[in-house]
Copies of this chain bind each other. A is one copy, B any other.
C-alpha cells in the first residue's frame, strides 16, 4: 500500500487538496507513481478518518472551495515506520514486452507503428524531465547550494531521466529487430 505513503510524502513537501495532489501525480510524483483522482480522494478520506491527516476547508473566489490536507503527527509516524521497513525490489511490468513476444504468433511488422508511438511518448517525457532538471536543479535559476530535500528530489529525477533514456534505446533496439525480421526470409 504505497499510495498512502506517496500521499504523505507529497503532503509533507506541500499541503494541498485532492485535486492538487492528482495534478502532482501527473507531474513530479508521477515520474515514478501514478494515481487517478478517485483513488486519491478515497485514500485521503480514509486517512483523514484514521487521524493520519488534518483537513482545513479553504473558501476560494471564482472557483469551488477546496479541502486542504496536511500531515498530522500519526501520519508522520506512519511514514517514518514505513521508511524503516524493508520493501521488495520491483520488476519492469511492460505490456509492450508481452506484445513483442506475442508478435511471434501474429505479424511482427504490425508492431512497428505501436513501438514508434511509445518512442515518441518517451522522447517527450525525457525532454520534459530534462527541462525540469535545468529549471529546478542545474540551471542558472536553480538554488545553490541545494538543500538535502532538493538533492534527494534531484536524484529521483535523474532516475526518471535514466529510465527514459534506457527505454528509448530499447525501443530503438526493438525497431531494428523488427526491421531485420521483416527484411529477412520468413523461415528459420
Q: Which residues of A contact B (CB under 8 A)?
A: 2, 5-6, 8-9, 12-13, 29-34, 76, 79-80, 82-84, 86-87, 89-106, 108, 110-111, 114, 117-118, 121-122, 145-149, 151-156, 158-160, 162-163, 165-166, 169-170, 173-174, 177, 180-181, 186, 188
Partner of A95 from the list B2, B31, B95, B186 (CB cut-off 8 Å) is B2
Partner of A98 from the list B6, B100, B122, B177 (CB cut-off 8 Å) is B6
Given A106-B83, A145-B188, do A163 and B100 touch, yes or no (CB 8 Å)?
Answer: no
A188–B147 alpha-carbon span in the complex (Å): 5
How many Å from the CB of A175 to the closest CB on chain B? 10
